[in-house]
Amino acid sequence: MGLFGSGRWYINALILQNLGERANYFKDGIYCHPGPTAMIYSGHATIKYVSLFQELPAVTSQVLESVRSRFADLIFVYRHPLDSLLTNWIWVRTYLRDRRMISGISQVYESTDELCAELEGNFSEFEAFADGELFATMPGPRFLSFSEFIEETALFKESATLSLRLEDFAADPFKEFSKIVQVMSVELDLSGLHLARPKTQPYRYKVVADRVPRFRGFIDALDADTKKRIEQVGYEVGV
């Protein structure tokens, strides 16, 4: 499981391509069973806040109860919240305006310079998204605000059997995938695996902050609680 913009699709691909016969039990979607199952479910979800594009907290609560009962494991994937924020802003605006689903920023902008130009030219829209106000007047739930997103990340880390950072897969995908294999108790020969690294650029937000002063100002102006939560989930706040 992961929040939107966390790298879950990358983990899904690793499982499907490298987990052998156990991958036949994979399903993209979150379902709850009354007891142990060989199934592997994957999805975006929240624990506390209702959010656009993510399973409801009521569904997540059932999953967490299974974890507490020890007949299910929860693997949580996440990355730096500021990278997720940029990705989610681009994803949501592209989908709601063009009805086009993308797998990452690179599908919309060929370079970081293009992303920076878009951010600079639409910064008020970006701020509204970070505040949870962009598209908030549309029917249905709004997307998480940035502070809510970080709070949800902390809650998942507290509840997960295993937490995985996307940046660590960029450094050593074999080491991180081995953790998944261990949690799932899969008998698998890892010696012959050739695991792709994530296509996304780790800590891209730092490059963007260097080129877009208003984005740097946004980071500097984050409230103390938000900065503290970012540090609690294992990341630096500064650029």
pLDDT in tens, 153-170: 999 999 999 999 999 999
Q: What is the pTM of this model?
A: 0.93
Q: What is the pLDDT of residue 136?
A: 67
CATH 3.40.50 assigned to domain 8-232? The reply is yes
d(CA 164, CA 166): 6
Domain boundaries, the chain: 8-232
Q: What is the pLDDT of residue 220?
A: 95
pLDDT in tens, 111-124: 999 999 999 999 99
> What is the C-alpha end-to-end distance of the chain, expressed in Å?
28
Closest CA to 76 of 108, 52, 43: 43
CA distances from 107 to 8, 15, 115, 135 (A): 17, 23, 11, 22
List the pLDDT tens digit at each of the 239 positions of the chain: 999 999 999 999 999 999 999 999 999 999 999 899 999 999 999 999 999 889 999 999 999 999 999 999 999 999 999 999 999 999 988 888 888 887 778 888 889 999 999 999 999 999 999 999 987 677 788 899 999 999 999 999 999 999 999 999 999 999 999 999 999 999 888 888 889 999 888 999 999 999 999 999 999 999 999 999 999 999 998 77
d(CA 110, CA 217): 25
Q: Give the residues across from 45 on adjacent strands.
A: 55
Q: Which amino acid, one-letter code, is at 230?
A: I
